[in-house]
């Protein structure tokens, strides 16, 4: 193990306290819809000025890790992804909670997050410099194809309703165009309104599209929010552990997917979670149960999104290019401390980097007890609080959370509007996920396409640009596979059945 001599430095009482405090604070912040890891880390920056660089990093890394896990609570218990990383957690997490297995889902999410976090940290520890080159090999055209790949997942996610899924995705793509365009600086679809100038902020759209319909339904129907079958079953830890062990290979696969996607600056936890989810579903023997409360689905997304933490630190520390938005803040804090990132950071400043990486391991391990306890508390609160209290409290939180993302009232207006639109669309069988996918992937695809086209046109080789690069071709192969998999599978099953019959 490289830098093992710094393990002890990571384990000073101060660092252990910082890691513990960071994970607790992060988990709580992440569980509140709208309060994001980026914000949590940014608030901390001034405090870290006075700390040793390694301790500052450990604290920020711990908060970050905790916040990504905390996002699972709202996803499972309220059907609201607190962060884009947790979108796919809602697919199976919320149905589990609905049928009374919310406690199991929260514990599974905790185990998965810890596993994913550990895998990500191992990659960071062992392979950071070579893997950073992967991030650089990804050019604009690769991001374009990756986003298209993400969009094809819609077909997998809305099996019974492909047309409605595609319409939803197109709506999302349109939403992603609103506001000042990121790279061309054009102002689009604002209809002269100042409210829309800043564009549709992803997290406020998430809160609106996922949480508001749940709140409306809660008010409109007499049922309890979550079904409670029996009281006080503990953490259901052994049950969760057995499930996780059964799917240990799946966990590992999702964690590796999460790490690799995390390395790509600009891709992030949302894509990692979705890719891991659809891969898990494709491989699973129980794929028809996905989306109806399948524990494997929760394991896949939650391990993948926590693996992006370690993965995202790879380009941040090696290249000085932030892998994820919270990484950008952490990088800024490092610069202010006078630290220069780069491969030299691993050799010249080994004491800081390796102390931090071991600190990240520590924080991830601490997440197990912390996550179980807070998760249990969150679950108990949600099932015991009477509906008359729950609805206004959650509604209030969504307002505060949405406002605080960019300190902007326009985001709140957009959130509520999208919420009502989402509720109406839900009535007609449109689910929010394709819309959100379109919104997130639209801008990635657009930027990649425009950049790739510009570069390709300058080199007078557009075909080569889009269809001549090895990584692009590999992603295109995945796109075709993902699009036609249902057909291939049918065909394959059919011929196998035919064979059986012929025998």
- DSSP calls for 102-121: HHHHHHHHHHHHHHHHHHHH
Interaction between residue 447 and another protein (CB under 8 A): yes
Contact mark string toward another protein, 36..75, x via CB under 8 A: --xx-xx--xx--x--------------------------
Is 110 or 445 the residue whose CB approaches another protein more closely? 445
Q: Which of 8, 389, 420, 457 binds another protein (CB under 8 A)?
A: 457
Cα separation, 205 vs 80, whole angstroms: 11
C-alpha pair distances (Å), 49 with each of 144, 328, 474: 38, 16, 44
Interaction between residue 192 and another protein (CB under 8 A): yes
Sign of the four-CA dihedral 43, 309, 362, 11 = negative
Q: Are 200 and 439 in contact (CB under 8 A)?
A: yes
Interaction between residue 486 and another protein (CB under 8 A): no
For the bound state, the minimum distance from the C-beta of residue 196 to another protein, rounded and expressed in Å, comes to: 9
Interaction between residue 201 and another protein (CB under 8 A): yes
Interaction between residue 84 and another protein (CB under 8 A): no
Interaction between residue 1 and another protein (CB under 8 A): no
For the bound state, the minimum distance from the C-beta of residue 187 to another protein, rounded and expressed in Å, comes to: 5
Is 36 or 433 the residue whose CB approaches another protein more closely? 36
Cα separation, 302 vs 160, whole angstroms: 25
Cα separation, 266 vs 281, whole angstroms: 25
Interaction between residue 182 and another protein (CB under 8 A): yes
Q: Which of 4, 17, 126, 183 binds another protein (CB under 8 A)?
A: 183
| 242 sits in which H/E element | helix 237-246
Is 409 or 488 the residue whose CB approaches another protein more closely? 409
Q: Which of 1, 14, 136, 488 binds another protein (CB under 8 A)?
A: 136
Can you tell me which residue has the tokens 């349109």?
Answer: 174
Cα separation, 409 vs 398, whole angstroms: 12
Residue 7: both structure tokens together: 């393990």
For the bound state, the minimum distance from the C-beta of residue 137 to another protein, rounded and expressed in Å, comes to: 6
Q: Which of 10, 72, 153, 319 binds another protein (CB under 8 A)?
A: 319
C-alpha pair distances (Å), 27 with each of 24, 36, 174, 252, 390: 5, 10, 33, 23, 20
# residues near another protein by CB under 8 A: 61
- DSSP calls for 267-296: THHHHHHHHHHHHHHHH-TTGGGTTSS-HH
Can you tell me which residue has the tokens 């891991």?
Answer: 276
Q: Which of 47, 219, 335, 474 binds another protein (CB under 8 A)?
A: 335
212-251 residues in contact with another protein (CB under 8 A) are none
Contacts with another protein, residue ranges (CB under 8 A): 38-39, 41-42, 45-46, 49, 135-140, 179-180, 182-185, 187, 192, 194, 197-199, 201, 265-266, 315, 319-322, 325, 327-333, 335-336, 338, 340-342, 344, 406-408, 410, 447, 450-451, 454-455, 457-460
């Amino acid at each position: 193990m490289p830098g093992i001599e710094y393990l002890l430095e990571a384990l000073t009482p101060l660092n252990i306290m910082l890691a513990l405090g960071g994970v607790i604070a992060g988990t709580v912040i992440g569980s509140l819809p709208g309060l994001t890891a980026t914000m949590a880390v940014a608030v901390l920056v001034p405090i870290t000025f006075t700390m040793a660089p390694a301790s500052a990093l450990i604290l920020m890394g711990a908060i970050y890790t905790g916040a990504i896990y905390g996002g699972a609570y709202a996803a499972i218990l309220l059907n609201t992804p607190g962060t884009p990383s947790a979108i796919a957690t809602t697919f199976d997490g919320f149905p589990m909670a609905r049928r009374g297995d919310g406690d199991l889902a929260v514990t599974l999410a905790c185990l998965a997050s810890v596993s994913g976090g550990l895998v990500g940290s191992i990659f960071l520890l062992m392979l950071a410099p070579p893997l950073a080159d992967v991030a650089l090999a990804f050019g604009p055209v690769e991001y374009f194809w990756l986003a298209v790949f993400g969009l094809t997942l819609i077909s997998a996610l809305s099996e019974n309703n492909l047309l409605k899924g595609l319409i939803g995705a197109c709506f999302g793509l349109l939403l992603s165009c609103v506001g000042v365009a990121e790279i061309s600086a054009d102002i689009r679809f604002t209809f002269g309104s100042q409210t829309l100038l800043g564009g549709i902020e992803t997290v406020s759209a998430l809160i609106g599209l996922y949480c508001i319909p749940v709140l409306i339904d809660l008010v409109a129907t007499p049922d309890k929010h979550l079904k409670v079958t029996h009281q006080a079953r503990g953490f259901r830890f052994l049950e969760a552990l057995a499930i996780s062990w059964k799917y240990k290979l799946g966990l590992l696969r999702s964690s590796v997917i999460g790490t690799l996607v995390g390395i790509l600056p600009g891709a992030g936890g949302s894509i990692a979670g979705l890719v891991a989810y659809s891969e898990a579903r494709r491989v699973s023997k129980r794929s028809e149960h996905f989306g109806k409360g399948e524990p494997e689905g929760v394991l896949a997304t939650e391990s993948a999104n926590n693996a992006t933490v370690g993965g995202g630190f790879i380009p941040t520390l090696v290249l000085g290019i932030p892998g994820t938005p919270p990484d950008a803040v952490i990088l800024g804090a490092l610069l202010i401390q006078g630290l220069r990132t780069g491969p030299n950071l691993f050799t010249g400043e080994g004491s800081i980097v390796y102390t931090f990486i071991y600190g990240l391991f520590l924080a991830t391990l601490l997440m197990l007890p912390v996550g179980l306890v807070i998760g249990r508390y969150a679950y108990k609160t949600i099932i015991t609080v009477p509906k008359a209290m729950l609805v206004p409290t959650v509604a209030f939180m969504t307002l505060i959370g949405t406002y605080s993302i960019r300190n902007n009232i326009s985001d709140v207006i957009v959130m509520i509007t999208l919420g009502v639109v989402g509720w109406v669309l839900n009535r007609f069988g449109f689910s929010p996920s394709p819309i959100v996918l379109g919104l997130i992937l639209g801008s990635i695809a657009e930027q990649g396409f425009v950049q790739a086209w510009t570069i390709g046109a300058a080199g007078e080789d557009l075909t080569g640009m889009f269809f001549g690069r090895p990584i692009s071709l590999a992603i295109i192969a995945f796109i075709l596979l993902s699009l036609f998999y249902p057909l291939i599978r049918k065909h394959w099953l059919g011929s196998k059945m035919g064979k059986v019959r012929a025998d």
